[in-house]
């Protein structure tokens, strides 16, 4: 792949400078790719209707074409360009949760290139709520297809610096509006099956969806690599268990707080004795238990504030990676609210290295 000089431009997160937005929008209209912030994670965008531009996304990320992209819109009217039918539930969900971290799987309209959907007859659509994302989509005049702006298989980026680490030399422009507010990706909700099902837990919780859609199905539980039912694997391509793998192995600990502490401390001692550099990702409340160990400690926030934990999760994994630890030990944060999305990302990072 040819080397491209990567420019990072700061943009005001609340009141994006029109000049900067117009420059990025012009690149998109000309078939280039641009990195922009959303409320979940940074996205690597291209005009959803330009196949040559879409190819650049896959090139830059090293992502296989079998992994479909989410199309981002700024106005509900754009749905008509993307889908053949807007189910009544989609309208109700959009009214409640858009703009926001909810992606809906809908029947694909004929104008949507198969490069976007990985050959599927369905398309993923969301309206982000970040002012920069909304301004950019509007200015570009077209829906924007965008995966998370990380190298394929790496952790999603929540700062422009994370993006730069993964994609410098591969993208012309990164719009930098500081850290993303939510920090985990959108919830992907399938509305094309007999019953609505969450394919990927994310920024909108199962509990919140249930208030509107009482029969919504939770994501299929997986405890080990390869344990996803085949039918689900086909509906959620790209949801490989190791999708978010950090470049260092991760062990996820389960059980009560005391059990987790005991087994994490034992694991640190065992590895330290072998000369291994260990990192731990924990909650603020756990710090006293770990501060006198030889582990490199990252606290993601209070165990009683999962919004804080989600917002710091990926930055924590990246900072432990950069500290060159050889293994990351991570506690479990429960399954309530955002806990489900946090757990999903940690399980994907852990693969089958799961400790109960």
- Only one of the segments 4-12, 48-56, 183-191, 254-262 lies at the binding site for ligand TXA (rule: CB under 6 A); that segment is 183-191
Phi, psi torsion values for 194, nearest 5 degrees: -60, -40
Indicate which single residue of 103, 158, 299, 308 sits in contact with ligand TXA (rule: CB under 6 A).
103
User: If you search the block for the tokens 């078939």, which residue do you land on?
Assistant: 31
**How many of the chain's residues bind Mg ion (CB under 5 A)?**
1
Task: Return the residues of window 266-325 that contact Mg ion according to CB under 5 A.
Answer: none
Provide, for the chain, the percentages of residues in helix, strand and coil under a 3-state DSSP scheme, each rounded to the nearest 5: 35, 20, 45
Residue 103 interacts with Mg ion (CB under 5 A): yes or no = no
- Helix (H/G/I), strand (E/B), else coil: 108: strand
From the list ligand TXA, Mg ion, none, pick the one residue 160 interacts with, judged by a Cβ distance below 5 to 8 Å according to partner type.
none
Phi, psi torsion values for 354, nearest 5 degrees: -120, 125
Residue 245 interacts with ligand TXA (CB under 6 A): yes or no = no
Q: One symbol per residue from 24 to 43: x for binding ligand TXA (CB under 6 A), - otherwise; what is it? A: --------------x-xx-x
CB 180 within 8 A of CB 41: yes
Taking alpha carbons only, the member of 94, 81, 115, 150 closest to residue 345 is 150
Q: One symbol per residue from 133 to 152: x for binding Mg ion (CB under 5 A), - otherwise; what is it? A: ---------------x----
Query: How far apart (Å, rounded) are the C-alpha atoms in residues 297 and 39?
Result: 27
Q: What is the CA radius of gyration of the chain?
A: 20
From the list ligand TXA, Mg ion, none, pick the one residue 28 interacts with, judged by a Cβ distance below 5 to 8 Å according to partner type.
none
Chain residues in the site for ligand TXA (CB under 6 A): 38, 40-41, 43, 67-70, 101, 103, 105, 117, 120, 122-124, 128, 146-148, 185-186, 188, 199-200, 235-239
Chain residues in the site for Mg ion (CB under 5 A): 148
């Amino acid at each position: 792949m040819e080397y491209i000089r990567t420019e990072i431009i700061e943009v005001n997160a609340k009141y994006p400078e029109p000049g900067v937005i117009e420059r990025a929008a012009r690149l998109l209209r000309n078939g280039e790719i641009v990195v922009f912030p959303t409320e979940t994670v940074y996205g690597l965008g291209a005009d959803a209707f330009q196949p040559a531009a879409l190819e650049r996304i896959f090139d830059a990320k090293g992502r296989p074409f079998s992994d479909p992209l989410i199309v981002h819109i700024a106005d509900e009217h754009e749905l008509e360009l993307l889908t053949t039918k807007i189910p009544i539930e989609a309208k109700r969900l959009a009214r409640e949760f858009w703009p926001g971290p909810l992606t809906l799987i809908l029947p694909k309209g004929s104008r949507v290139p198969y490069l976007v959907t990985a050959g599927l007859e369905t398309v993923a659509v969301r309206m982000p709520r970040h002012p920069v994302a909304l301004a950019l989509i509007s200015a570009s005049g077209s829906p924007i297809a965008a995966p998370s702006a990380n190298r394929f298989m790496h952790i999603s980026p929540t700062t422009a610096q994370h993006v730069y680490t993964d994609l410098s030399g591969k993208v012309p422009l990164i719009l930098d509006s500081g850290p993303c507010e939510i920090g985990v990706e959108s919830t992907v909700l399938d509305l094309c099956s007999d019953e609505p099902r969450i394919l990927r837990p994310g920024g909108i919780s199962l509990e919140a969806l249930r208030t509107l859609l009482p029969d919504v199905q939770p994501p299929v539980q997986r405890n080990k690599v390869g344990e996803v039912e085949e039918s689900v694997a086909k509906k959620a391509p790209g949801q490989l268990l190791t999708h978010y793998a950090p470049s260092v192995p991760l062990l996820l600990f389960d059980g009560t707080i005391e059990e987790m502490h005991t087994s994490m401390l034992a694991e640190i001692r065992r590895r330290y004795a072998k000369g291994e550099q260990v990192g731990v990702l924990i909650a603020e409340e756990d710090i006293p238990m770990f501060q006198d160990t030889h582990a490199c400690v990252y606290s993601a926030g209070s165990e009683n504030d999962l919004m804080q934990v989600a917002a710091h999760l990926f930055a924590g994994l990246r900072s432990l990676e950069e500290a060159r630890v050889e293994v990351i030990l991570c506690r479990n944060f429960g399954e309530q609210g955002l806990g489900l999305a946090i757990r999903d990302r940690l399980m994907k990072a852990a693969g089958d290295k799961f400790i109960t």
